[in-house]
Chain A
Amino acid sequence: MSAWFNQHLTALRDALRRLTATPLNSTLSLFVIGIALTLPAAGWQLIDNVQRAASSASGVQQISLFMALNAERKDIAEIESRLKLAVAGRWRFISREEALKRLQGTAGMADLISSLPKNPLPDAFVIDPVDTSPEAMAQMAKTMGAWPKVAHVQLDAAWVKRFDALLRIARLAVSLLAAVFAAALVVVTFNTIRLQILAHAAEIEVARLIGATDAWIRRPFAYFGAIQGLLGGVLAILLVVIGSRLLTSPVAELAELYGASFTLEGPSVSLAAALLAAGASLGWLGALLSVNLSLKHPD
C-alpha cells in the first residue's frame, strides 16, 4: 500500500518535471487543448443563456388577438362577449392608445412614435387560457381567427415550440462539435506523449532492465496527459469566463433595447467541473493509448 502510494507520488513528480522541462512545448499543447475545450464549452454556455432568456421572456403561454385597424367599439364589445363564452381563463384588453403609450415609454422609441402621423397600432386582447396544452391553444387560436374584425391571432407557444426544436438542434450540433474536439484533444495528447516517450527512451529502457513493470513506466505519462488536460480545462474555463465578461455589457444593452433586463451568466460550477473532468480524462486516455502503442512497438 505504502509502496503503491510512493510509486504514484514518484509518477506524479516525474510527470510534473517532464511537463516543466519543456515549457514551450507544454504551453503550446496546453493552448491547443484549452481552445479545443473552449469552443464547445462556449457553445454550451451560449445555448444555456439563450434558453434562460427565452424562458424568462413573458408571453410564453399566451394568445395575442389583434383587431383590425378599422375595428370599432361595438366590434370590441362583440369580441369581449365571445371571449366570455368561449374561453376559460383570464384576458386583458389593451387599447391602441395604451399600446402606443407603452411603446413611447420604451427607450429610444419616443421620438420615433411622435413622428408618426397616426397611431399604427391595433387594439388587442392578451389571453391567458387555463388550458395551455398546445392542442387546446391551437384550437382556440383557430376559433378566434374566424371571429369578425380579428386581423391576426398570435399563438405565443408556437414560437416557443419552434425555438425549443432549434435549441435541440443547436445542442446536438454543439455535442457533435464537442465530440470532434474531444477526439482532437486525445490526438494532441497522443502525439505529445509519443514525443515524450521518444525523449525518455533511455530511461524507459534502463527502468525495464532493472525491474520496472509496464504499469510503472506507463504511470508518469498517464499523469502527464491528465495534468496537461486538466490545465487545458482550467484555461478553457478562463477563456469562457473572460468571453462572457466581455459580452456582459453589450448583451445587457441589447436586452434593454428590447425592454428586457437580462444578464449574461458565466460558466456554471457544473460546466467548469465538466471541463476539468473532460480535460483530465481525455488527456489520460490519449496518454494511455500512446504509451500502450509505444510499449508494444518500441520503435
Chain B
Amino acid sequence: MIVCSNVGKRYPGGLTALENVSCEIGAGELVFVTGHSGAGKSTLARLIAAIERPTSGSIVVNGQNLAALRGSALPYLRRNFGLVFQDQKLLFDRNALENVLLPLAIIGTPIGEATRRAQAALDKVGLLDRAKANPIALSGGEQQRLAIARAVANRPAILLADEPTANLDTNSAAGILDIFHAFHQVGVTVIIATHDPQWSGLQNARELRLAHGTLAS
C-alpha cells in the first residue's frame, strides 16, 4: 500500500536528507523507522504523507503516485493518514475534545456523531476524563496521547507517528506503544519513526533502519 522507489530528498542548501531509499509497507503492517538523530526519519514520514515532495524517486500510496497528484487532491490523500507530529501541533486555544474534533469537522461529520467519535478516541487513549481540559494543562505523556487521539478520530487506514514517545519515561512510553499495538491489532497500518532502539525487535514488527539518509538492512 506504500511503495517508495529510489526516494531521495535534498533540501535547498545542498543537504541530502535521504538518498536512494526503497521500501514497501503492506496494509496492516507495524513498521518502526529507526536511526540516529538526523538520519532522515522525519523526512521520510513527511514524504510519505505528501507534506514534502521527494527530489528524486517516487512514492505510491494506495496506488496513487504522489508526484502525479494535483495540489487540490492532496487534502483527500492526507485523510488516509492519521498523523502524529514530532512537535504534536496541538491547539492551545481549545480544549482536548475540540482538538480531537478538528479532523472530523474537516470531513464534515455531523457534530453529534463527531462528538461521539472524538470521545471514543479520547477513551481509547485514556483521556476521556480530561476532555474539557486545555492541552496546556496536560502532562507530556497526556499531550502525546491527545495527539494520537486526534490522529485516530477519523479512523484512518494508516497511522503515521513521528517520535510519539520522545521525552517520555519508560512507563508512559510503554503505554503509548500499547495504544499503537491495539490499532495494529484491528488492522490499521502503523508506522512509527523513533530514535529509541528499544522498540526494534518487537513482536510482529518490522524495522526500517535509516543511517545518514540511506536504508541499512
Q: For window 67-93 of chain B, which residues contact chain A by CB distance below 8 Å?
A: 72, 75-79, 81, 83, 85, 89, 91-93
Shortest Cβ distance from residue B163 to the other chain A in the assembled complex, whole angstroms: 16
26 A-B contacts (beta carbon < 8 Å): A2-B110, A6-B110, A6-B111, A7-B105, A7-B108, A202-B91, A202-B93, A203-B91, A203-B93, A206-B91, A206-B102, A207-B106, A208-B75, A209-B51, A209-B83, A209-B85, A210-B102, A210-B150, A211-B79, A211-B103, A211-B106, A211-B107, A212-B75, A212-B106, A213-B75, A216-B106
Would you call A202 and B89 a contact (CB within 8 A)? yes
Q: Which of B72, B78, B108 is the one whose CB lies under 8 Å from A209?
A: B78
Measured CB to CB, the residues of A under 8 A from B are 2-7, 9-10, 202-203, 205-214, 216
| Chain B hits for A6, CB < 8 A | 105, 108-111
Specify the chain B residue showing the minimal Cβ separation from A10: B105
Task: List the 8 shortest-distance A-B pairs measured between CB atoms, nearest first.
Answer: A3-B108, A211-B78, A211-B79, A6-B108, A7-B108, A213-B75, A10-B105, A212-B106
Say which size band chain B's interface belongs to.
20 to 34
Shortest Cβ distance from residue A246 to the other chain B in the assembled complex, whole angstroms: 43
Q: Which of B72, B89, B110 is the one whose CB lies under 8 Å from A206?
A: B89
Would you call A2 and B91 a contact (CB within 8 A)? no
Q: Which of A2, A207, A214 is the one whose CB lies under 8 Å from B102?
A: A207
Number of CB contacts from chain A to chain B under 8 A: 64
Specify the chain B residue showing the minimal Cβ separation from A205: B89
A4-B108, A7-B108, A212-B106 are known contacts; what are 12 more A-B pairs with Cβ within 8 Å?
Answer: A3-B107, A3-B109, A6-B108, A7-B106, A203-B93, A207-B106, A209-B51, A209-B85, A209-B89, A212-B75, A214-B72, A216-B75
Measured CB to CB, the residues of B under 8 A from A are 49, 51, 72, 75-79, 81, 83, 85, 89, 91-93, 102-103, 105-111, 150-151
| Chain B hits for A3, CB < 8 A | 107-109
| Chain B hits for A203, CB < 8 A | 91, 93, 102
| Chain A hits for B49, CB < 8 A | 209
Q: Which of B78, B109, B110, B111 is the one whose CB lies under 8 Å from A210?
A: B78
| Chain B hits for A206, CB < 8 A | 89, 91, 102
A208 to B76, CA, bound (A): 11
A297 to B105, CA, bound (A): 25
